[in-house]
Amino acid sequence: MMTVLTLGELSLADLQAQVQLESRGFGDYDWLKVEDVALSDRDRLQLQVLQERLLTTRTQLLNEATTWARVIYPLLLLAEQGAIQAWSEVALSAQYAHFSLEGIADGVLGPSIDGYLQQPYLVVVEAKKGLDASNPQFQLYGQMLAAAWMNWRSSGQELQEMFGCYTISDSWTFFRGEVRGFEADRPEFLLESSREFGERLEAEIILKLLKKITRRS
């Protein structure tokens, strides 16, 4: 029987029932090292403007739409390279052997052809506020699984590397995932994570990491 999972309502138990989930946790992984990533003068100028604005903004009091427009999306736009573009409100869907995933990603970095998003490579979850708030981590895991399946269908590669991050106010936490066994009863999902980065003081590191991730695609 096919189990239908909604991305915005996922729990850890939902995921563990369907996939072999292994988390290596936070570590000093190679994909987090950004010393070799260079920024242009234009990048640095825009980062300076963004950070100056953040220093005079109480981001915790902003609603979700304003936070996305003023804090999160500007950095995604700066990470665009070549055909890789930033997108908002992207529909994701996947159908594994025994479960399906459906929902919307708040943001995506992925290649575009003639204005159409191709394979999503990094997915972004903006944490919800208020009474409807839930742990953004498991929603992000589901989005990474959905995006990995979409890329597998397109490329046919049995191992899919996928990146994601969730944001809370102006803080960013990144994840790298490896998904394999797309036709197995319980696919394998390996995860690595970063520490939390604060955009007010670490916008340059966040942008370099976004650029490094898009290069890997």
List, for residues 146-155, the tens digit of each pLDDT value. Answer: 999 999 998 8
pLDDT score at 55: 85
Pair 117, 52: CB distance under 8 Å: no
Q: Please report, rounded to a whole number, the percentage of residues in the chain having pLDDT higher than 70.
A: 96
Q: Which whole number is the average pLDDT over 152-173?
A: 95
Q: What is the pLDDT of residues 176-211, one digit of tens each?
A: 999 999 999 999 999 999 999 999 999 999 999 999
Nearest-angstrom CA–CA distance, 72 and 210: 12
Tell me the one-letter amino acid at 92: L
What's the CA gap between 108 and 21, in Å, rounded? 23
Give pLDDT tens digits for 47-94. 999 998 888 888 887 888 999 999 999 999 999 988 899 999 999 999
Among candidate residues 87, 31, 79, the one with its CA nearest the CA of residue 214: 79
Across the range 117-126, mean pLDDT stands at 90
Decide if pLDDT at 217 tops 90: no
Give the per-residue pLDDT at 123.
97
pLDDT above 70 for 141:
yes
| For residue 130, pLDDT beyond 60 | no
Q: Mean pLDDT across the stretch 108-130?
A: 84
Domain boundaries, the chain: 3-216
Q: Measure Cα distances from 129 to 28, 35, 141, 172 in Å.
A: 30, 34, 19, 16
CA distance 102 to 143: 9
Q: Could you tell me whether strands 116-117 and 188-198 are parallel, antiparallel, or unpaired per DSSP bridges?
A: unpaired
